[in-house]
Every structure is written in structure tokens, then in C-alpha cells.
Chain A
Amino acid sequence: SQQGEEDPQALSIQEGENATMNCSYKTSINNLQWYRQNSGRGLVHLILIRSNEREKHSGRLRVTLDTSKKSSSLLITASRAADTASYFCATDGGWGKLQFGAGTQVVVTP
């Protein structure tokens, strides 16, 4: 069963715009991670936020975590065509065992 649910399922934006996607989960977590998957490729880790953190930045990525609402958001600023991919949140309840959401498909048009 999937722990995280992403919203929206799909997102289409133009280059330069920001992309925001959300993830909700059900049980307590040690950390929450975001991964990117390009078509036909494996998942690539983007960023990890621990349960005691509220916000984290990495380059053009900004992740927030609200444990009281059991939700997280991923913001990609100044998007590029190369950001076209599916984005997944994954919750780690302990021991490194991840549960992935269904993903958000992002299309960035030039």
C-alpha cells in the first residue's frame, strides 16, 4: 500500500515558472524524501528532510514538512525543460524502509 499521496497527479508549466507539488502521508515518520524519475530511468534522490526539520533547501529545490498535518511540499523554482520528470515522495518510518507515493508528473515546456 502507498503511504504518501502526491497532489497534483500531473502538472504542466512553462520554463521559468515555479512548480509546487504536495505529499500527504498517514503514519509517523523518521524522515521524508523526494525522488525524481526521468522516463525509462531509475529514481534519483533529490532531498531528505528529517521529522524535526520544517524546511530545507538544495539549489532550486525547497522542501517543507508539517508533521502536525502529515504533509510535505516540494517547490522547484525557475523550472527548466530538464526538470520534466515524475516526482515521488517517500516516507521512512525507520530502518530505511521507504514507502513511495504515486508521484506527480511534471512537464516543463520551453
Chain B
Amino acid sequence: AQTVTQSQPEMSVQEAETVTLSCTYDTSESDYYLFWYKQPPSRQMILVIRQEAYKQQNATENRFSVNFQKAAKSFSLKISDSQLGDAAMYFCAYTLETSGSRLTFGEGTQLTVNP
């Protein structure tokens, strides 16, 4: 079965500090895309960052970056200079090249940012 595991149900970080959220996935496919989504209390899911599995270079988006280890099937998210607005539930997810837009999500990590 295709699965995504986020082993940290909750994480906290001090404002301006750095935090890393973990994610591992399991798929036998070789072509896929990995995502981190953020869901704030408003419940609106927002894409944070995307990584193509065929790219070795780790994706970055401003303060957000990933550590993609394809052989280990690991896809962690690093948030630098954490801000109060980063507080949210973060979901790791992937889509397979063969399954269209179908996202498989992890259980989520609730991130708290302390002032």
C-alpha cells in the first residue's frame, strides 16, 4: 500500500528559530511528486513547497526548504526564521505520475510557534 508517515504529531518552535518536520513515504513507483501543505486554523489548505522525485536538487521557497532523500524515501521540511503565522497543521503528501492529481496524505504535524 502507498503510505505517508509523519512521526511527529506535534512540534513547537520559538519565533525566529528553525524547525524540521519529518516525513517518510512508501511507494514502489519511480515517478512521483512530493508536497508539503499547510492547513491553518481557517482550514484552507495551502501549498508550501513541491519536489519532483526525478530532481536531485532540494526545493526551496523563501524560508522553506526540503531535504529529499529518495533512496531512504524521506522528505523533511525545514522552516527557517519561524514566524507566528507559520503556526498550522502541516501535511506531507505525494502524487504518482500514473494517478493524476490524487494526493496521498500523511497524518499531519501540528506546529506551534512560541513568541
A, B assembled together: no
